[in-house]
Amino acid sequence: MFKEFKEFIARGNVIDLAIAVVIGAAFGKIITSLVDGIIMPPIGRVLGKVDFASLFYVLDHSKGEPVSLAEAKAKAIPVIAYGAFINDVINFVIIGFVIFLIVKAVNRMKAPKTPDETKECPHCLTKIPLKATRCAGCCVEL
């Protein structure tokens, strides 16, 4: 069983996946920092000096009215922290867009460039094979 496990781990795709997970986690932290520190503060300022991460809705008013999300968590007051959800959605959209751009660039690099195997007839501009000696459209000899 150890030998099978060793062969499984030694496969290139398993190692590539492990590397991708580590890089993805680091990239996620960068995006979270970008959203929390750079993108959301100007949006919050435009919307009336709102810090999205601290937005919440109190579900149980019988335990008091918390002033902040941290206070609600400390007093175990049930809340819906929709501001954190907004930040997470923005993180997801940014990460998804960046991954889209990366995949698009990789696919463009991988796409085989097939040489054009046709030419245009100088008389009728019909596409004809490179090896053709007569145009199929206008029957002129090439």
Asked if 79 and 127 sit in the same domain, the reply is no
Tell me how crowded residue 90 is: count the other CB atoms within 10 A of its CB. 19
Token pair for 32? 């979270």
- Whether 130 and 101 map to the same domain: the answer is no
Q: What is the largest CA-CA distance in the chain?
A: 93
Q: Which domain holds residue 18?
A: 2-111
Nearest to 57 by CA among 78, 74, 41: 78
Q: How far is CA 18 from the centre of its chain?
A: 18
The C-alpha angle with vertex 122 and arms to 118 and 124, in degrees rounded to 5, equals 90
pLDDT average per 10 residues of sequence, the chain (142 residues): 77 76 85 82 79 83 85 88 85 82 83 77 86 85 80
- The reported pLDDT for the residue numbered 12 is 64
The pLDDT value given to residue 114 = 67
Asked whether the whole model's pTM tops 0.75, one would answer no
Tally of domains in the chain: 2
Same domain, 105 and 126: no
Q: Are residues 138 and 70 in the same domain?
A: no
The reply to whether 69 and 42 lie within a common domain is yes
